[in-house]
Each structure stands twice: as C-alpha cells, then as structure tokens.
Amino acid sequence: MQQTLQNGFEALQRGRIQEARECVRQLLTTDPRLTEAHFLAGLIARRIKDRRTAIQAFSTVVRLQPGHPAAHAHLAQIFMMLGQPNIGLNALKWAVRHEAGDPEVQNLIGNVYFRLGEQSSALDWYARANAGHPGKPKYMVDHSNSLIFTGRHKQAEAEIQQVLEVQPDNPQAHWILSSVHRARSGEHIAAMKKLANQPGLHPQAEAFLYYAMGKELEDLECWPEAFEAFSLGAGARRSVVDYEEAAEAEMFQALEDVYTPGWLERQAPGLDDPSPIFIVGQPRTGTTLVERIISSHSQVHSAGELRHFAISIRRLADYREPERYSADLVRRAAELDSAELGRLYFDASRIMRGDSPRFVDKMPLNFQYIPLILGALPRAKIIHLVRDPMDACFSSFKHLFADAYLHSYEQGEMARHHVRYLRLMETWRRRFPGRFFDVAYEDIARELEPNARALIEYLELPWEDTCLRFHEQDAAVATASAVQVREPVHTRSIARWKKYPQQLQPMRDELLKQGVDRA
C-alpha cells in the first residue's frame, strides 16, 4: 500500500491524473480509512479544479486525523477562494496550531493570509517556507509576489533574480521580473524569446513570457515588436481559457430585463449601514488609483477586491452551477431578500473590512450588481470609473490576468464585452439617477486635487491632504496595478493605444460597429 501511495503522489506530480486516481481507488478499496489516500484524492481534485470533491476529501482527512495541518491549510485556502472566510479562518487556525515545520504547509498558510489581505503575516509564513526549503523556486516566487504587493520592489527583484539563477527557464519568474524593473536593454527580452521558441511549451508558459516581453519592449518604445508580443501572449492565453461569449451576452440581457426601477421599489428595506464604498467599472481603468486616494483617508480601510457580494448572491440563491455567466442566476437573484443579502455580505467580508468607519470593496465586476447593491445596502456609496474605450480595451488586452476577464484575450471579444458593459452602465444611469458617482480616469490623471476633493465630498467625509499623497501609503495592494500605484499620478497611459493604430484596428472597428463613437 505504501508503494501504491508513493506511485499515486508521483503520478500526480507528473500530471498523470488518471494514474493517480487509479492508485486512490485501489487504496480506498483496500482501506477506506487510509488518511493519506483521502489526502491524495484532495490534491487530485484541486489539480482538476473540482473544489467540491476537494472539500469532501480534505474534510475526511481531518475527521480521521484532526491534527493534519496540510489538509486544514488546503481547506482554509479553498474556503477563502469560495468567499467563505469564516469557515476558512477556522481551518487556518487549525493549520497554524498543528503546523510542524513543513514548508509546503507554511507556504499554503502564507497563501491564505495573502487572500485575507494580511500581507505582513503572509510574508512571515512565506519566509518560513523559504527558510525550511531554501532555493525552491515555488516558495521564492510566492514570497516575491508578496514583496511586490507590500511595495518592496527592489527586494522582490533581487529574489526573482535568484529564482532565475536556480531555474532560468521559469516563465512566471521572468514575468514577475519584467513587472518590477524598467528595461534598459534587450538582454532580458532575448533570453525570454529563446525560451518562448522552445518546442512543446505550455500555452500558460508562453503567455507569461510574451506578456513579459511586451512590457519590456514598451519600456524600450519598440512599439511594433511590443504589440506582436502582446498578441502572441493573448493568443496563447486564449487557447486555454473557457470563455462563452453567448452566455455572457445572455446574462447582460437578463440584467437589463429584470432590474428595473419598479423592481427596486418593491424591495424590502436593506441593511442600514453607511460603511461600504464600492468602486466598480472595468479593470485597468483607474479603480486602484481611486481606491488608494480614498483609502489614504483616516476613516477608510481598503478591503481589496472582494468577491463576496457575488458569492453571497450565489449562496442565497442556492446556485451551484460552475458557469461564470448565467442569466438563470440573474433571475434567481431578483427573488432574494435584500436585507438578508446585505447581512450575508457583511458577515462574509467581516475579516477584510477592518476597524475603520468606512471600507472600500474594489471589485470592478460589481458594476453588474448595482441594483442589487442599492437594494441590499441602500446607504452604500458607489464610485464608477470611466475611461476612453480604446484605452480601456487595450489596457486589458495587454495584461495577463490570473483567472478573470477571460474576454480580454481577443480583440473582437474584448470590444464586444466593453460595449455590453457601456450599455449596461447607461441603463443603470438612466434607471437609478444619482445613485452612483461617475469619475473619469483621465480627469484624475490630469488634475488630481479637484477630482480627489470631489470624491471625498461624495463620500461625505472631511477633506484630508493625505489623499493627495496616496503613493506614499505603506498598505499592501493585492491587484494587477501593485507596481504602478506606488508612483505619483501621471498621464503616460492616456491615449497609449494610439501607438498601435493599425494593429488595434479590429478592436476599433468592432467598437465603431457597435455604436461607440468615442473609439
């Protein structure tokens, strides 16, 4: 049995999922209470992103062996990803209590603290993992990421350089390095190009490398070569993501059909709490910039990009389907009790909300749920970022996201998504006038102080000069803009798309075709 167990772990490590599953089947047939067989089943489920099975497997492990730190750590991470931080926090406490120096467990604990937004704790646990297994690229990469989010860019760059000395073909390390340093020559680009040309490279590895090359080529103002790299990266990423445009379009139509002024009038009173501030819009449109301005105020805490409002909707609606876009969920959500939705959101986000009188939830995709927010949290403030459509679309197209914004890797899909977003926001603006505050990224970038003052006035807070010195904040930034927001406000990104007028013609044509005359 020990040999079968070892074979199963080795098969999983090599990506031979069916072989690993067969080992689990043999083991549990022989001994249904074999703890490590259930643990292996959990790891397999995580590899194939079957969270429900993973929870069942790891829960069985901790029932059979309550002090199993790795199973508790995995449960903590999964529940955090599912937007159930209270359950996740309980599992985290067990993992910390029983942790016995295993670097893998320590790194998992660091990941959970990272998701909680507790970057100092995450750094500490990542450091422990690195100390327990020095020189392991996986642990060093996670530690470097945490360093970036806490503003320690030089230290992160030095550590990533060490990773590349140990593992020079690590695509993610090259991608991270490109984000924390400004290219002065083409030396690093040449090294990445050589790696990208290797036969049989996984598309995700290609995406890391090409996006990194694109960023550094832009640093060097090699515009045609930069766009070619971004395009190759986007193509590689698009080949491995599951984006269903028809389902997204159906969901947007359902939102318009269901959430009318009459629907909102029929809702029972929601949760009477003035603390939430939602920042919504498209990614890469200045949402993080506005968050940093607002959270520089002494009365405001940044809770980060919380997924908890959308997850609370799913939980209350008892919606268990895995689809990202669902007209059915939209219709179910309209039947929910508004106050109960508000209370569940508050309960789920409690750990991240901090102790300040106000907190910011900077999940851009909450633009979809503005009517539900108005019903569930009627005293919440909602800030909507507006940006030039071509700049907004191109900025997403040239960025590699972790597991979101799957529409952004093909020019036509990106443009059509943006049109759906613009039309939906115009619908909300018409139906719920005065219920959210529009602010243009370009206005803030060009004239920071008057626009920052307008934001603080909208939030009904007294003015504080620290809001103009947002880039001096020490607070962590767990977002795609972690590097940029450490800089003072600038206008370099305005009209950046015009460096690529011919290459981006398909995107612009699609926007114009759909009636976006600002393209």
User: Quick check: is 232 in a domain?
Assistant: no
User: Quick check: is 162 in a domain?
Assistant: no
Q: Do 377 and 271 contact (CB within 8 A), yes or no?
A: yes
Model confidence at 402, in pLDDT bands (50, 70, 90)? Answer: confident
CATH of the domain at 505: 3.40.50.300
User: Quick check: is 519 in a domain?
Assistant: no
Q: Do 395 and 285 contact (CB within 8 A), yes or no?
A: yes
User: Quick check: is 405 in a domain?
Assistant: yes
Instruction: Flag whether pLDDT at 34 surpasses 70.
Output: yes
List residues bridging with 493 in a β-sheet: none
Instruction: Flag whether pLDDT at 472 surpasses 90.
Output: no
- pTM (2 d.p.): 0.89
Mean of pLDDT over the chain:
93
Tell me what the mean pLDDT of segment 8-14 comes to. Answer: 95
Pairing of the two strands 358-361 and 437-440: unpaired
Instruction: Report how far residue 368's alpha carbon sits from residue 105's, in angstroms, rounded to the nearest whole number.
Output: 37
Percent of the chain scoring above 70 in pLDDT: 97
Give 101's Cβ-side CA count (13 Å radius).
2
| Structural domain total, the chain | 1
Q: What is the pLDDT of residue 231?
A: 98
pLDDT per residue as tens digits for the range 79-93: 888 867 778 889 999
Tell me what the mean pLDDT of segment 120-142 comes to. Answer: 93
User: Quick check: is 364 in a domain?
Assistant: yes
Tell me what the mean pLDDT of segment 366-383 comes to. Answer: 98
Find the domain containing 371 and state its range: 245-513
Instruction: Report how far residue 144's alpha carbon sits from residue 159's, in angstroms, rounded to the nearest whole number.
Output: 6
Tell me what the mean pLDDT of segment 453-482 comes to. Answer: 82
Q: Do 441 and 286 contact (CB within 8 A), yes or no?
A: yes
For residue 299, give Cα distances in angstroms to 20, 277, 436.
Answer: 52, 12, 20
Q: Of the ranges 7-11, 348-352, 414-418, 435-439, which one carries the lowest mean pLDDT score?
A: 348-352
User: Quick check: is 23 in a domain?
Assistant: no
User: Quick check: is 178 in a domain?
Assistant: no
Q: What is the pLDDT of residue 480?
A: 47
Tell me what the mean pLDDT of segment 31-38 comes to. Answer: 96
User: Quick check: is 18 in a domain?
Assistant: no
Q: Do 109 and 92 contact (CB within 8 A), yes or no?
A: yes
Tell me what the mean pLDDT of segment 23-27 comes to. Answer: 97
